[in-house]
């Protein structure tokens, strides 16, 4: 659905049922199983971590986006530090993995997602190499810089591939925003009970309103 839609029901059970059906439908429309979930937001107080709907829960999305927007440890600073030093690839892996879940398609295009997926694959290889060779990894770095030869040619090739992909991603910038406002304004579909509609003052306008009056 391309128009902004608010779906409201009287109970949490009803809104959970509707949201579950639409999340399942969204998941089968793309090879990236969770891409597009950033378009969906659900307001509920009964969803816990591990629940099928946890990824579209507003409170969880706010937590994730707050990490994205953090000026010291967020997306931009993590990507920059990884490109420059390759010190902590796990931090950037976190953002690459969660971006497809929590960023709407209006912000995260499919070509950009594909680039992120490639970067994540190469970062995983780099992490695996570093875990397996932790005791010898310092041999890769000689006092003049990176040792290009020896037994660590695979590591250097992987490192260079990671850097080239991450540099392509460095132009992607979601800025510094209020996480709740970002999540609500960029979602194309929001699910909530009638009692929770009062929390949508920062959600902007909607083109379609669907009210399910069934009391499940």
pTM of the predicted structure, to 2 decimals: 0.57
Task: Look at 50-59, 150-159, 162-171 and tell me which has the smallest mean pLDDT.
Answer: 150-159
Query: When comparing pLDDT for 133 and 196, which is higher?
Result: 196
Rounded CA separation 194/41 (Å): 15
Q: Cα dist. 50→34, 56, 97 in Å? A: 15, 12, 16
Contact 17, 193 (CB under 8 A): no
pLDDT band at 202 (very low <50, low <70, confident <90, very high): confident
Rounded CA separation 43/153 (Å): 50
Structure tokens belonging to residue 214: 């069934």
pLDDT band at 143 (very low <50, low <70, confident <90, very high): very low
Beta-bridged to residue 206, according to DSSP, are none
* pLDDT at position 169: 82
Instruction: Please determine, for residue 50, whether its predicted confidence score (pLDDT) is greater than 50.
Output: yes
Structure tokens belonging to residue 105: 């398609």
Rounded CA separation 1/206 (Å): 12
Task: Provide the H-helix boundaries in the chain.
Answer: 12-27, 58-69, 75-85, 89-102, 110-132, 153-169, 179-186
Contact 68, 74 (CB under 8 A): yes
Percentage of the residues of the chain whose pLDDT score is greater than 90: 9
* pLDDT at position 29: 66
Secondary structure element (H or E) that encloses residue 209, with its range: strand 208-211
107-112, Cβ contacts within 8 angstroms, sequence gap of 24 or more:
107/38, 107/174, 107/186, 108/35, 108/38, 110/35, 112/169, 112/172
Q: Cα dist. 109→66, 99, 105 in Å? A: 21, 11, 6
* pLDDT at position 62: 92
pLDDT in tens, 11-24: 888 999 999 998 88
State the first-to-last Cα distance of the chain, in angstroms, to the nearest integer.
25
């Amino acid at each position: 659905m391309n128009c902004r839609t608010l779906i409201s029901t009287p109970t949490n059970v009803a809104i959970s049922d509707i949201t579950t059906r639409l999340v399942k439908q969204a998941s089968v429309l793309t090879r990236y199983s969770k891409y597009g979930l950033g378009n969906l937001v659900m307001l509920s107080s009964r969803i816990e971590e591990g629940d099928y709907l946890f990824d579209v829960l507003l409170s969880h999305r706010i937590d994730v986006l707050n990490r994205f927007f953090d000026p010291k440890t967020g997306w931009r600073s993590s990507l920059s530090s990884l490109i420059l030093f390759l010190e902590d690839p796990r931090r950037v892996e976190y953002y690459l993995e969660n971006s497809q879940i929590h960023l709407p398609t209006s912000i995260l295009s499919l070509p950009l997602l594909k680039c992120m997926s490639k970067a994540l694959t190469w970062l995983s290889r780099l992490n695996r190499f570093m875990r397996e060779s932790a005791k010898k990894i310092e041999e890769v770095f000689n006092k003049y810089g990176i040792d290009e030869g020896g037994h660590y040619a695979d590591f250097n090739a992987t490192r260079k591939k990671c850097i080239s992909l991450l540099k392509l991603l460095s132009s992607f910038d979601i800025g510094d925003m209020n996480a709740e406002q970002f999540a609500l304004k960029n979602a194309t579909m929001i699910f909530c009970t009638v009692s929770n509609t009062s929390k949508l003052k920062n959600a902007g306008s909607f083109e379609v309103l669907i009210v399910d009056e069934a009391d499940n």
